[in-house]
Amino acid sequence: MISQEKLQGILSKLKSQEGVRGVVVTTMDGLPLSSDLDAETTENVAAIITSLVGKALDAVRELREGSLSFLTLDTTNGQINIAPEV
């Protein structure tokens, strides 16, 4: 488990990157731990991303590809980067 101090440092670094519109940290169950978005958006993002990560983990497991370390969604509006820690 990462220390709170180290987590805050990582979040600050991510938030300061050009083009970053938001950072959300959740548990694997979808409970938001940290976010710089409004509450409604945070809940929505947490639910959607948690579901997506669950499906991705299932796919990697079924395909016997080891473990999921990072997920990137390229969209017409930018990227969504997901780093699940299982």
* For residues 12-27, average pLDDT: 92
Is it the case that residue 3 has pLDDT exceeding 90?
no
- Which DSSP category does 78 fall into? E
- Contact call for residues 14 and 20 (beta carbons, < 8 A): yes
- Which DSSP category does 12 fall into? H
Is it the case that residue 85 has pLDDT exceeding 60?
yes
- In the chain, where are the structural domains located? 22-82
> And the tokens for 78?
């930018």
Is it the case that residue 57 has pLDDT exceeding 70?
yes
CATH number given to 22-82: 3.30.450.30
